[in-house]
Amino acid sequence: MRWTLRSEFEPLLDAVLTCPPTIVRESPVRTVALHRVNDTSYYVKRYFVRGALQRLLLLLRKPAAEKQWEAALMLENLGVPCVRPLACGIRRPAQGIVESVLITEGFAGVPLSEWTAPDWPAVFRFLDHMHDSGVLQPDLHAGNLLVCPETAELRLVDVGHVRFGRPLRRSERLENIAFLGLSVPLPMSPEAWRLSRELRQFVYLHRSKRCLKHNREFAPLRIGSLVWHVRSTLFDEHGRRVAEDPDRSLEAGNQFLVNEPATTIGYRDGLLVQRLRPRRGVELIRDRFRGSRARRCYRRAYHLELLGIPVLRPLAFADRKKAGFPVCSYWVSQGIPEARTLVGMLKERVPLDRSVVRNLAQLIGKLHDEGFSAQDVEPTSVLVGPDNAVYLMDPDRLHFADPIRESAAAVELSRLARKVVIAPAVGRLERLVFLRAYCRTRGLRRVPRGPRERGRRGHTESTMISPW
């Protein structure tokens, strides 16, 4: 391996590489390990290059460790604090680069999101200095900004994507601050807050793709005759037994929540197992290109989880294909012990608990705020836990777009009202509780009204709510 390193670190290189490591983070393409030598901490990042195509691309660009090494040195020259780089190594056999290594000095800091008593003026001074120096970190989130709680010293980490140039314009600074505001409760101006809300739509949609890739949290795994894409950190023996034969798991000793030709949902061993088939023949052709129903539900559930919307946590999905077409797909998610479906509670002749009504209104309000259309959400797709918490069980019918406007929200709420109008458990009081909680969740001063209702006064149920 060819090394580029600081002269004062050269005597310590062999000792750092040979001491027993403590794995901090591990994925198929990167490993981060902590090494301790003479009571000093060092972080060793190893980037692996797998495949001939990736090695061919490295003929045109620099490996990851070398990019971070050069970026960190430039940051030091500009006076922008970052973790101190000590050495960079590249392994280049005859077939090309197969590994690059970066060694950095340990820093007694925590991610910005873990700072218990944050000094926000100090954070803004750091950002102003970084922006004035012409430095832009496009991936500026709480994990890429470390802080020492005792001294409030801030340093950048993972600087491979940092860009250098002229001092940033005001619009670029606002966008960078708004991006950081997605991961920490940063006090921002109204303009930056609105920009952060707009970025949120794109950022979390893009971030949800990671559940379909091979990384430290998700991985493909062959179990039985199917290749499952599992959530490695949560997938246990119960999930493995279900994955070995999902059809048998659904049929043997199972509690069915939904049993239809295209959708079968059962509960077993604390897991929710769903078998999904195309509803129509044309959907079979569409699923060949857009992905199966289970794949779409798996990603959409992870997207909702990232946004903080209560949904059953996705654990695994698999497709059963014939001639490349997904004729059947399976999706496994975490279950809620002693949970009941909302449709079952609506049929009871006792009023719904008000906490259930409020939680359901907050769920619909959050979906609308984040750009999910809930017009096709059925009571059968909502679970109510023993503590009256409400969870979305089946996100198959959700549609993602821009935040739902008032007129569209009014249409969806009226459609939901028609679905439960004959339910014995829903009366006028429950409707008023729902509308009030929905408006509070979305920050609305009045109940949404459709185009036909605007201009009317005093005769609709929505006008019966007083301001709060």
Give the model's pLDDT for residue 466. 30
- Which of these, 168, 27, 162, lies nearest to 85 by C-alpha position? 162
What span, in angstroms and rounded, lies between the C-alpha atoms of 422 and 417?
9
pTM, 2 dp: 0.84
Note the helical H segments in 370-427.
406-420
Mean pLDDT by 10 residues, the chain (468 residues): 93 92 89 92 93 82 93 95 95 89 93 92 95 94 92 92 94 94 92 90 91 90 92 90 88 74 86 89 88 93 93 94 91 89 82 88 90 78 90 86 80 79 76 89 81 50 35
Asked if 334 contacts 270 with a C-beta cutoff of 8 angstroms, the reply is yes
- Report the amino acid identity of residue 119: D
Query: Residue 467's Cα: distance from chain center in Å?
Result: 35
Over the stretch 168-222, which tens digit does the pLDDT of each residue have? 999 999 999 999 999 999 999 999 999 998 898 889 999 999 999 988 899 999 9
Helix, coil or strand: residue 33: strand
Give the model's pLDDT for residue 306. 93
Give the model's pLDDT for residue 52. 83
Give the model's pLDDT for residue 216. 85
Helix, coil or strand: residue 411: helix
Over the stretch 89-129, which tens digit does the pLDDT of each residue have? 999 988 888 999 999 999 989 999 999 889 999 999 999 99
CB burial readout 18-57, b (16+ within 10 A) else e: eeebeeeeeeeeebbbebeeeeeebbbbbbebeeeeebee
CA atoms within 13 A on the CB side of 118: 17
Give the model's pLDDT for residue 254. 64
Over the stretch 263-303, which tens digit does the pLDDT of each residue have? 888 888 888 999 999 888 888 898 988 899 999 999 999 99
What span, in angstroms and rounded, lies between the C-alpha atoms of 157 and 162?
10
Residue 16: how many CB atoms within 10 A of its CB? 19
Asked if 34 contacts 22 with a C-beta cutoff of 8 angstroms, the reply is yes
Note the helical H segments in 380-420.
406-420
φ, ψ (nearest 5 deg) of residue 100: -135, 145
Residue 280 buriedness (CB in 10 A; 0-12 / 13-18 / 19+): exposed
What is the per-residue DSSP string for 70-111?
A: HHHHHHHHHT--BPPEEEEEEE--TT---EEEEEEE----EE
Give the model's pLDDT for residue 458. 43
